[in-house]
Structure 1
Amino acid sequence: MSKKRSIIIKFDHPSEQTVGNVTKIVGLVEARYFVAIIDSLNLEANPRSSKTGAVTDAIQETITNSPELFPFMSKGILLASSSYEKLERNRIKITPDNLQIEGILDGGHNTLAIGLYILGQALDYHGESISKSTKNWDTFKELWLKSRDKVKAYLNAIQKAETKNQLNFFVPVELLVPSNMNDEGCVYSFINNLLEICEARNNNAELQLTAKVNQKGYFDDLQRMMEEHNPVIAKRIEWKTNEGGEIKVQDVVALSWVALNLIEPVRDENLEREIKPVAPNKLYSAKGACLKQFEKLMSSPDVTGTAEDGYHSVLLNDEVRSAFEVAVEFPDLYDYIYENFPKQYNANGGKFLAINACKDLNKNRKTKVTPYKGKKIEILSPDGYITPLFYGLQALLDKKEVNGKKQIYWTQPPMSFLQDNFPRIVKDYMGNLELCNYDPQKVGKAIKVYDDALKTFKMAIAGIL
């Protein structure tokens, strides 16, 4: 949990509205007083991180060309704090208790654009400019902290009228606080309502399901285990929308269903229906559906409970936890199959690059790497060929109960198994490509191909392949 820090916000033209347990303070904040918000807050409470692009460019263009219109052209930012104090001269001191819940709920791109503008003016005052590598919130905040003395000097110069004030435009700010700070029940209810408010506000910007799942904490255990098991791959995964990463988290979630499909059935959020396993071919053809089913699974009271903050989830299901422990090995295993399939296909009498889909995939591609670790390789493979083979690894998984806890586990080390058996597995699997006219889409979507791959792995385990 982030360290508590008080922030003083100076409003112009504030107004106040109270409904139930929530009070909304609406007003304008002059840009130079916005600095305190940037200093103290990040985007933990915002479902998405922010990055530069057309949106931030348009915001800065408005600030530059029509600063007087900015308060009317922008919805500004939405803040929340469970603790606050009214001061003199329209100033309010807020002390967010938990920055993963409170802080900036909406307006991350506005905050980034305004921050970049302020920093740009400060650096320009010192004869410098912003690095072109500053493309998202994290890289901006790193540069902001390094340049904070220059921002302070620029603000002092404005105060002493030693330079033109380019920060005299207003930012629309909404601040949500409990309607009764002295009522514990009111404060608790306020905190519980923040997730719903945050989701509703961000839905106006078509908030991705990935962002919602991450905000609820459903990725937390899988992310922590991945960081412990394979930090290289963990750093490449975009766990939070717009945070940056070569690997989309829904790709990792799709792979995880190879293990999650083996858990005992659990009930949905309303305890009315059992959550169905994911069909094998959806690992390739419907990763969005895999993520949606993951959200349903993690929303189940049979799987997660609510943390002490009344907001995030806590994983309670031992079987799901064990499935995650297995799943952290999946990206490496997928990469092994991806890298070695072409050479084993050729070794068994095939001509991999004679297949049009494979030839087209590799044509004019200067960079050829594996999907997860980014290892340089000689030949790229269509995912439609690889995913059914990867699914075959489920044959190496089983269930047991240890000290009353149900677990999914490997019956033998999977990488060693692949290294020993992959040539024979590929030889048996090759016929599926011909049956589907070598079309990766048809291979990747055909349930029969997944069933055959699973049987092939079982035969290899039995030593009859």
Structure 2
Amino acid sequence: MSTTPSNPISEATVKIEYLEERTLDDLRRFSGFIKVRGMVDVITNLNLEANPRSAKRSPVTADIIETIRETPELYPFKSKGILIGAAEYMKRDRDRFTLTIRNPRLEGILDGGHNTLAIALYLLEEAILLSDDPREITKLQKELRRVKTWSQMKEMWHEMEPKLRTLKTKATASHDALVPVELLVPNTESDAGQEKFLNNILDICAARNNNVQLKEETIANQSGVFDYLKRVLEERMPDVYKNVVWKTNDPGEIDLRFLIALAWISLGAVDLPAEIRALPGTSAYSSKGEAFKRFDALIRHPEVAEERTNGNEKTWEITNAQVKSALQMVPQILEAYDLIYANYQDAYNANDGKFGRIGAVKTETKQKKNHFAPFSREQLDDDLCIAPAGYMMPVAYGMRELIQKNSETGLLEWAIDPVEFFSNKDNLAQVIGSLKGILRDVDFDSQRVGKGESSYTQVANTIKAMRLELENQRTASKAQEEIERLKAQLAALQG
């Protein structure tokens, strides 16, 4: 099967104790146990990309390590173990299997990431103790305590690999604790069988993770629904891209649903399929789950995108040029949102207001221990008074009024760049000033502002009028420039 440079082939050999085999239709399942020390090869060569949840150190991993150390004989009964999937495998003698992983996004450790991380942390602890140098042991133990995530563990694992391989040969009760394992493989070696197997992996992941309430957006991420948006952000806002929590337990500070809610600012200007409704600002504020559901339905719609295989990876390739143009606008939306967030206080106070005295603002400011811009994570002044989300969303959704359709291509474009628009302090002051009456009417209740349609209508009308005025000014300026040009030509002819 084809591969891509970004997905190098990896191989892992596992020995399954007390092996049992079951075959059902297109799937074959091998089950049994792997010794803890037998996990060295698995952890060295496999990853958690196919697991919808990222693993991180927690009280759960601490409990697993304690069980391995203190009561290893109970571990196979207390743990649900791990689930591994591989489209290509070779069964060897003595119940050993060599697994070939060509598509780490769909193959590898499908479930049991926290078990695997806990075992890895335990093995690292043991490998450190193989050193004869007390100072080295102390140094490495400090490093290990700082390891919190799978990626951090893998970095240290790579450094400790020689000692870890030595550990494979050292039998103790804890090293030989049995890890329950299931290995899923195709029931045929044909390319068609392998492809069908890969198609089933996402459903298997979702079902296996139901008991941990796996978020819908995590499954959507695995299936490639966010791929185009991810490419846009990776290219134009790489720091933001890296900081989005694309799947459960990913490291990051940016809520994916919040990001999608803001993406609907531009998507709402698209000529949507009949079955898909644009997300109103009120829903963006109060129901970010609805923002995701509509986005998911939009990308999966046949008028918008096609599900395709890229190498062995599944993705949704957007075929609707207008939707693409809307998603290309997201970086500017996020940048403008940060501008509004950082300058809301000054804009409000420019309208004879006292922003810091508002109860909802005081509460929001107290809840923010550190003041950072939501997307760029730029450090803001410590004494800045923070606008609640209910105050922010009507202003943010006003950006939709700055979008126009290109008369020739039908693609979306900015009539006025929102970053340029909101960088002008007078513009922001005028927009936020238009909300003051509504704020007073609802006694500054941020939820009523965020959920009230009148807030969005007021801001939209204000920005619409400002845009018209700016466009008229531009038209007048161009007309004046043309007059001056013609005058110059006439003067040249007369001269």
Using structure 2 for the length normalisation, give the TM-score.
Answer: 0.87
Q: Name the structure 1 match of 2:152.
A: 139
* Secondary structure of the structure 2 residue equivalent to 1:28: strand
Q: Map 1:39-438 to 2 at 5 A.
A: 39-126=44-131, 127=137, 128-129=140-141, 130-155=143-168, 158=170, 166-181=174-189, 183-266=190-273, 274-308=275-309, 309=312, 311-363=314-366, 366-375=369-378, 376-377=380-381, 378-400=384-406, 406-420=410-424, 421-438=427-444
Q: Name the structure 1 match of 2:19.
A: 14
* Secondary structure of the structure 2 residue equivalent to 1:98: coil
Structure 2 distance, partners of 1:294, 1:446, is 23
Q: Deviations over 1:362-394 (max 9, x none)?
A: 348552222222221322111111110111111
* Secondary structure of the structure 2 residue equivalent to 1:328: helix
Contact kept, 8 Å, 2:38 with 2:168, in 1: the verdict is no
User: What percent of counterpart residues are identical?
Assistant: 35
TM superposition shift of 1:204: 2.3
Structure 2 distance, partners of 1:6, 1:362, is 51
TM superposition shift of 1:197: 1.2
Contact kept, 8 Å, 2:75 with 2:177, in 1: the verdict is yes
Q: Deviations over 1:256-311 (max 9, x none)?
A: 001111222226xxxxxx02221211111111111122111122222222222373
Structure 2 distance, partners of 1:143, 1:239, is 24
TM superposition shift of 1:412: 2.0
Match of 1:32 among 33, 37, 48: 37
Structure 1 distance, partners of 2:128, 2:408, is 61
Contact kept, 8 Å, 1:195 with 1:311, in 2: the verdict is no
Amino acid at match of 2:70: N
Amino acid at match of 2:246: W
Amino acid at match of 2:423: Q
Amino acid at match of 2:52: P
Match of 1:453 among 459, 483, 489: 459
CA 1:188–1:364 in structure 2 vs 1: closer, same or farther (change >3 Å)? Answer: closer
Contact kept, 8 Å, 1:284 with 1:444, in 2: the verdict is yes
Structure 2 distance, partners of 1:364, 1:300, is 40
Q: Name the structure 1 match of 2:483.
A: none
Q: Deviations over 1:146-165 (max 9, x none)?
A: 22123234445x27xxxx56
Structure 1 distance, partners of 2:32, 2:368, is 53
Q: Deviations over 1:60-92 (max 9, x none)?
A: 122122111111211111111111111111111
* Secondary structure of the structure 2 residue equivalent to 1:138: helix
TM superposition shift of 1:233: 2.1
Structure 1 distance, partners of 2:157, 2:235, is 30
Structure 2 distance, partners of 1:364, 1:301, is 43
* Secondary structure of the structure 2 residue equivalent to 1:393: helix
Structure 1 distance, partners of 2:395, 2:467, is 15
Amino acid at match of 2:422: L
Structure 1 distance, partners of 2:367, 2:48, is 40
Contact kept, 8 Å, 1:9 with 1:34, in 2: the verdict is yes
Gaps of 5+ in 1: 268-273
Moved more, 169-178 or 414-423: 414-423
Rg larger for: 2
Contact kept, 8 Å, 2:362 with 2:385, in 1: the verdict is no
TM superposition shift of 1:185: 3.0
Contact kept, 8 Å, 2:394 with 2:455, in 1: the verdict is yes
Contact kept, 8 Å, 1:398 with 1:409, in 2: the verdict is yes
Deviating beyond 6 angstroms after TM superposition, the runs of 4 or more aligned structure 1 residues are: none
Structure 2 distance, partners of 1:187, 1:364, is 51
Structure 2 distance, partners of 1:63, 1:446, is 55
CA 1:442–1:320 in structure 2 vs 1: closer, same or farther (change >3 Å)? Answer: same
Contact kept, 8 Å, 1:192 with 1:310, in 2: the verdict is no
CA 1:365–1:77 in structure 2 vs 1: closer, same or farther (change >3 Å)? Answer: closer
Amino acid at match of 1:319: Q
TM superposition shift of 1:186: 2.4
Structure 2 distance, partners of 1:304, 1:124, is 54
Amino acid at match of 2:270: I
Structure 2 distance, partners of 1:189, 1:154, is 38
Q: Deviations over 1:157-176 (max 9, x none)?
A: x27xxxx5641111111111
* Secondary structure of the structure 2 residue equivalent to 1:17: strand
Higher helix share: 2
Structure 1 distance, partners of 2:407, 2:313, is 31
Using structure 1 for the length normalisation, give the TM-score.
Answer: 0.92
Root mean square deviation, CA, Å: 1.9
* Secondary structure of the structure 2 residue equivalent to 1:329: helix
CA 1:413–1:310 in structure 2 vs 1: closer, same or farther (change >3 Å)? Answer: closer
